[in-house]
Amino acid sequence: MRRSLKTALAGVTSALLLLALLLIGRAAPVNAGAALSRLWQGEAGRRGALPEPVGFHESGGRGLLVKTWVNGAGPYTFALDTGAGASILSRRAASEARVQVEAGGHGIEIGGLSGARSGGAQKAFVRNVALGTRENTFPARGLFVVAPGLPSDVDGILDPSEIFGTLGFVIDMPAGRLSFFDPRTQPLRAAATPPGGAVVPWLTEGGARRPFVMLAEGRRALLDTGSGFGLAVNEPAARALGILMTQGRERRGTRDLAGGEVSARRVRAATVSIGPLVLRDVPTDVLLRAEKGAPVILGRDALRPFRLTFDPVNRLVMLDPAED
């Protein structure tokens, strides 16, 4: 069966980066964590600790950037993207790291928010990844692909939901810090709501692990650290959410990985709710010429005030407003 990797790499004004992938093919089941958990326990037992915390910095046009080594080669610049659905390597990085790619087969098809499709991506087999320092290694998990079309100054994309398996992770946006925890001993609990924040179910779509949350307005939204938008919706979703589209002007778009083009119109800031958390005055963009099934996206402009905790075992996400 031909596998399909549905990717959106859309830019607005200063090369704003938005990456959102939807795996339609052979993705691991959401709750297929037992084997990965045993794998992580074995690795952690040999090393005696979780991975060390890692610093990242935000670049408006490229996302949350972290220094990365692949199979001991590097360092490379990778973007940390919860909306990806897979980890992506540039051809150069894959070649230098001597990453094996799937021989034969039909490859992986890449599509975009525009609905365009292109081939050329290959499944990759990565042994290990290190973040922050060459010594801070962990076994590579989840789906890796080698694909053309990444910006020249980005060597790859890391999807933490894929690569960390059942390991919990915290993306502290204000502090620029990625850290880790063991959900078996430090689980998130739905009742432990932080002041001014929320603990909500980690929803998924299809066979992918990308984190969606339910908005009180009745729509699922993808928590997407690869997107520089705040709230991004296509025109049907904008109408359903009551977002006014008469204001604002169209902003310069860009081509996605598949060669299609998506642009956006900045409109009046919206208010949306996630459980008990109310997000007011969220910068809002209506996606133009996006395909009909494009997800509602909450990107960095909405998530920047929060410490985001992801528990893949108990399927919970915590949005905790960081203190000034």
Indicate whether 55 pLDDT > 90: yes
* Per-residue pLDDT reduced to its tens digit, 5-40: 434 333 322 222 333 333 323 333 333 333 434 444
**Among 62, 71, 205, which Cα is nearest to 127's?**
71
Indicate whether 308 pLDDT > 60: yes
To the nearest 10°, the Cα dihedral for 306, 23, 37, 191? 40
pLDDT of residue 106: 58
Taking all residues of the chain, what is their mean pLDDT, rounded to a whole number? 80
Residue % of the chain over a pLDDT of 90: 50
Paired with 121 in beta bridges are 108
Cα–Cα dist 210/159, whole Å? 8
Indicate whether 319 pLDDT > 60: yes
pLDDT of residue 249: 57
> What proportions of the chain, in percent to the nearest 5, are helix, strand and coil?
10, 45, 45
pLDDT of residue 234: 86
Report the predicted TM-score, pTM, of the whole model to 2 decimal places. 0.83
Cα–Cα dist 281/223, whole Å? 17
Cα–Cα dist 238/265, whole Å? 11
pLDDT of residue 27: 34
Indicate whether 293 pLDDT > 70: yes
Indicate whether 83 pLDDT > 80: yes
pLDDT (mean) for 255-282: 82
| Domains of the chain listed by start with CATH number | 3-180 (2.40.70.10), 198-321 (2.40.70.10)
Return the residue matching tokens 């959900």. Answer: 183
